[in-house]
Amino acid sequence: MDVPQLTPEEAARIFKEKNAVFVDVRDPQSFQGGHIPGALHVNDHNVHEFLKNTDKSKHHIIYCYHGNSSLGAATYFLENGFEKVHSLSGGFTKWCELFPDKVEI
C-alpha cells in the first residue's frame, strides 16, 4: 500500500489551518523532549485505545524521527479504517529544522 506523504511545508500549512490531527509515533522520551504543538503521542502502549476512540474520518498526519517509521504507522492506521492519513516526509527532524518556532517542549 502506498502511503501518501506530505512535505513539512504542506504539513505546516495544514497545521496553521488546524485541519488535521498530528500523531507522534516516536518513543515517550523523545515526545517529552519536544513535539509538534497539540500532537497526540501514540505508541505500543496506547495504540489500541487510540484506534478505538479516534474519529477515523478526520485527517491524520503521522510523524516519527525522519519519516520512515511513520510510513508503517500510517499504513497501519489506513488498514484499520482511517480515511485520510499522511506521513510527514523528513519527520520531526526536518520539521524542527524548518519550523523551530513550532515545537512544544
Asked whether the beta carbons of 81 and 56 are under 8 A apart, the reply is: yes
- For 89, the grid coordinates are 516526509
Distance (Å, rounded) from C-alpha 79 to C-alpha 1?
9
Distance (Å, rounded) from C-alpha 10 to C-alpha 89?
10
Asked whether the beta carbons of 21 and 48 are under 8 A apart, the reply is: no
Q: Which residues are catalytic?
A: 64
